[in-house]
Structures are given as structure tokens and as C-alpha cells.
């Protein structure tokens, strides 16, 4: 049996849960469900951004044993709408992985761009590159390609697939696109309106 990289035990937040999940290294679990059912709340609870009950482990380390900053570097969340707090893109990067930028359709000149000039889709791809500079062991993606055209959806999917293989990164990916789910997911779960998870398709 493959040991779990991420283990979630009896996780509850607001109307969501209890949730029990395990993810192995390199695995991609896809989530769907109606608006307001709890997909985003679950991701935020896993990263300890919202009050919750239950336990989350990265291998044998409980999130409570790590400072919040260190936990979120290893268990990284890409929200549906990325946040930017400085004027230029490059000011948000401590390190620049030009190969990663290239796979997402950018060159190093993007670092000189003003955030305000970027489209929603550009900001989302750049937010992914910003998050990946931390080399997270678990990546939580909240509809990361919803605002992207087909070419950039393919770019994001290919990059995440490569990093799952090379880094052993586990992924929870919220998506309502059934064709995408079939392409990227090892398992699929669905939230109902009461915040409960159902279904397990391998």
C-alpha cells in the first residue's frame, strides 16, 4: 500500500464535513459540486485559513506542529481569484523559474509588467507560477483554468502533470469540466448541497 502524503481526518468547517481523505505523492484528486457546497471551504480549511475541526497531516506531521507560514509553503492554495499587493509582477517573486514561466506562455519580460495591465487569465497563470516557486508538496487548485482559453488550459495541465511526476506533488483540483476531470484526475469526488462528499471514481 502506497503511504499517504496528505491525510485529512474528520475535517469540519462551517457546513462542510466531516471529511476524511488521503492523497498519495503524485496523485490528483478532482472535486466538483454545486456553488456554495463547500469546495473552496474545504481547501481553505486544509491550508488552515479558516477555523475548523479535525486534523490534517503532511506525512506524519500535523499542521498544528508547524507555523502557518511554513505549512502554507508546503500545502499551497491557488484561489479562484488571485491577490496581488505590489505594483509589478516581478516584485512578487523571490525566485524566478524561467522554465516554469515559459511553460505557462511567458518570458522573463513579464516580470516588468504592471499587475494592472494583466488580464484575469494572465494573473491566474502568473499566480500559479508565484505559488510554485515555493515547491509545494501539496497543491490545492480552485478552478485554476476557468478563465483560460484552450491553449492556456493545456499549458497549465501539462505543467502540473510534469510537476506531479518530477516532484511527487499531490494535487486537489476543483473543476466542473468533465472532459478536464477525465484528463487529469486519478480519483473524483462530488460535494452535495449539504457539504458532504460522495462518489469515488478511479
Q: What is the mean pLDDT of residues 133-157?
A: 96
Q: Could you report the per-residue pLDDT of 51-75, keeping only the tens digit for each?
A: 999 999 999 899 999 999 999 999 9
Residue 200: pLDDT band with limits 50, 70, 90: low
- Look at residue 1 and tell me whether its pLDDT is greater than 60: no
Question: Looking at residue 195, what is its pLDDT?
Answer: 86
Residue 201: pLDDT band with limits 50, 70, 90: very low
Q: How far apart are the first and last CA of the chain?
A: 16
21 three-class SS: strand
Distances (CA, A) of 142 to 52, 172, 176: 19, 8, 10
Distances (CA, A) of 137 to 57, 66, 87, 162: 12, 15, 29, 13
166 three-class SS: helix
**CATH number of the 4-201 domain:** 3.40.50.300
> What is the spatial distance between Cα 33 and Cα 178, in angstroms, rounded to a whole number?
12
For residues 75 and 138, the answer to whether their CB atoms sit within 8 Å is yes
Amino acid at each position: 500500500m502506497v503511504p499517504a502524503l496528505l491525510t485529512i481526518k474528520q475535517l469540519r468547517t462551517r457546513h462542510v464535513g466531516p471529511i476524511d481523505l488521503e492523497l498519495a505523492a503524485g496523485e490528483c484528486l478532482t472535486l466538483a459540486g454545486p456553488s456554495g457546497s463547500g469546495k473552496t471551504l474545504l481547501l481553505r480549511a486544509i491550508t488552515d485559513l479558516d477555523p475548523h475541526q479535525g486534523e490534517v497531516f503532511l506525512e506524519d506531521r500535523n499542521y498544528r506542529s508547524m507555523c502557518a507560514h511554513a505549512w502554507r509553503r508546503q500545502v499551497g492554495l491557488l484561489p479562484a481569484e488571485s491577490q496581488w499587493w505590489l505594483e509589478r509582477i516581478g516584485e512578487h517573486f523571490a525566485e524566478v523559474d524561467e522554465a516554469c514561466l515559459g511553460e505557462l506562455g511567458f518570458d522573463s519580460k513579464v516580470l516588468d509588467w504592471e499587475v494592472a495591465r494583466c488580464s484575469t487569465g494572465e494573473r491566474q497563470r502568473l499566480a500559479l507560477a508565484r505559488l510554485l516557486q515555493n515547491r509545494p508538496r501539496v497543491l490545492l487548485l480552485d478552478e485554476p483554468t476557468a478563465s483560460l482559453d484552450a491553449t492556456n488550459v493545456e499549458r497549465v495541465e501539462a505543467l502540473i502533470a510534469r510537476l506531479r511526476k518530477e516532484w511527487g506533488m499531490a494535487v486537489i483540483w476543483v473543476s466542473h469540466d468533465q472532459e478536464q476531470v477525465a484528463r487529469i484526475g486519478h480519483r473524483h469526488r462530488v460535494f452535495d448541497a449539504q457539504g458532504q462528499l460522495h462518489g469515488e471514481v478511479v
